[in-house]
């Protein structure tokens, strides 16, 4: 029963982070380790910066609709 509650809490937390636009570094690391074993992956800082630039635009990109 407690494992089900903990799992629901993790899903809720992940959903809230996604709704707020916060990237999920733990999911990224898990994905890299399972699908690309042995390959390097970004640090948290690199991951966060890359996600921010992808979402809002960076390095000469203009975000928004116009």
To 10 degrees, the CA torsion angle through 46, 20, 63, 25?
20
Residue 53, CA distances (Å) to 3, 8, 23, 41, 50 in order: 36, 30, 12, 17, 5
Q: Judge whether 65 lies within some domain.
A: no
Q: Predicted confidence band at 52 (pLDDT cuts at 50, 70, 90)?
A: confident
53 lies in some domain:
yes
Q: Is the pLDDT of residue 64 over 60?
A: no
**Segment 20-37 mean pLDDT:** 86
Domain-embedded: residue 62: no
pLDDT band at 40 (very low <50, low <70, confident <90, very high): very high
- 53 pLDDT above the threshold of 60: yes
Domain assignment of residue 2, yes or no? yes
CB atoms within 10 A of CB 51: 17
Its pTM stands at: 0.59
């Amino acid at each position: 029963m407690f494992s089900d509650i903990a799992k629901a809490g993790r899903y809720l937390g992940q959903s809230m982070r996604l709704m707020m636009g916060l990237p999920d570094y733990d999911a990224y690391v898990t994905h890299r380790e399972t699908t690309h074993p042995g390959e390097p992956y970004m640090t948290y800082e690199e991951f966060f910066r890359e996600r921010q630039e992808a979402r809002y635009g960076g390095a000469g990109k203009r975000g928004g609709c116009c």
